Amino acid sequence: MTLTSPSAADLGGRTALVTGAAGGIGRACALRLAAAGAKVRAVDRDAEGLAALYDEAAGAGRPGTVETLVLDLTDLDAAEQAAAGTDILVNNAGLQLVRPIEDFPPEVFSTVLRVMLEAPFRLIRGALPHMYGQGWGRIVNVSSVHGLRASPYKSAYVSAKHGLEGLSKTAALEGARHGVTSNCLCPGYVRTPLVERQIADQAAAHGIGPERVVTEILLADSAVKRLVEPEEIAELAVYLCTEQASFITGASLTMDGGWTAH
């Protein structure tokens, strides 16, 4: 699916930090924010992916609108520092391991929680002084249906996303009187490298082929029988950064093809 006419959000003069910007949803958010006029700081541990993003922004006639920072978000102090001075923060970086609890490596559980919950906390902490100082800020947390619902074999991911939902709502309550909104986006399955890897993992775990994983497992609860595209998530993220969205805060906006309508 191609989005031919993105909405006319104007974020000229705003700065934005996007984590996990080298691929998938983060990359789409970085490019969409840049297209709306924001000056984007793209953060990821994947230097090659960031370089490709930089080139793509320049090729789209937006040279200088995307700057890149290679950073592993397990370095929490560096994450907090990187967020200083940004007007918009998109907490997006994530990782997944599909494994039953009894086989789930404890050190991977810790890393998932660190990257997907502790780092967002530290990034928000780093961003708030500037946002509060100017009386305006936007925090967009890329959560998931798994912030609202559990699935077997995803203990760390589901725990981190449920935690992120709580963090986002707390930031919304604290930030409201400073003009800062905080929201979660809760997509169903998005067509990204993370999902391609999961399809392979689930196929191995259930002993079935990849096509059956998509139709019978991933989309079993989705009324709309397709994967959602990263650009569709980016469009909603940008809308949340507009003036028109200033009353939307503390929300968890699903984009799940009806999954959570069940």
| 153 assigned to active site | no
Q: How far apart are CA 167 and CA 120, in angstroms?
A: 9
Max Cα-Cα span within the chain? 54
Please, which residue, 47 or 244, has the CB nearer to ligand NAD? Answer: 47
118 is a site residue for ligand NAD (CB under 6 A): no
Mark the segment that binds ligand NAD (CB under 6 A) among 121-129, 187-195, 202-210, 238-246.
Answer: 187-195
117 is a site residue for ligand NAD (CB under 6 A): no
Q: How many CB atoms lie within 10 A of CB 16?
A: 29
Nearest to 78 by CA among 124, 41, 123: 123
Classify the C-alpha dihedral 47-53-58-63 as positive or negative. Answer: negative
78 is a site residue for ligand NAD (CB under 6 A): no
Q: Tell me which of 54, 132, 153, 157 is the catalytic residue.
A: 157
* Residue with the shortest CB distance to ligand NAD: 24
Report the side by side order of strands in the sheet with 66-70: 66-70, 39-44, 15-19, 88-91, 137-142, 180-187, 252-255
The DSSP element (H or E) to which 167 belongs, if any, is helix 155-175
Please, which residue, 134 or 200, has the CB nearer to ligand NAD? Answer: 200
24 is a site residue for ligand NAD (CB under 6 A): yes
Please, which residue, 61 or 253, has the CB nearer to ligand NAD? Answer: 253
Site for ligand NAD in 57-76 (CB under 6 A): 72-74
Q: How far apart are CA 76 and CA 67, in angstroms?
A: 20
Q: Which residues pair with 42 in a beta bridge?
A: 18, 68
Count of residues for the chain?
Answer: 262
253 is a site residue for ligand NAD (CB under 6 A): no
Grouping H, G, I as helix, E, B as strand and the rest as coil, residue 39 is strand
109 is a site residue for ligand NAD (CB under 6 A): no
**Minimum CB separation from ligand NAD for residue 26, in Å?**
5
Residue type, position 36, single letter? A
Mark the segment that binds ligand NAD (CB under 6 A) among 31-39, 89-97, 100-108, 121-129.
Answer: 89-97
Please, which residue, 215 or 244, has the CB nearer to ligand NAD? Answer: 215
Question: Between vectors from CA 238 to CA 236 and to CA 244, what angle results, nearest 5°?
Answer: 90
Mark the segment that binds ligand NAD (CB under 6 A) among 41-49, 100-108, 124-132, 240-248.
Answer: 41-49
Binding site for ligand NAD (CB under 6 A): 20, 22-26, 44-46, 49, 72-74, 92-95, 115, 142, 144, 187, 189-190, 192-195
Active site residues: 157
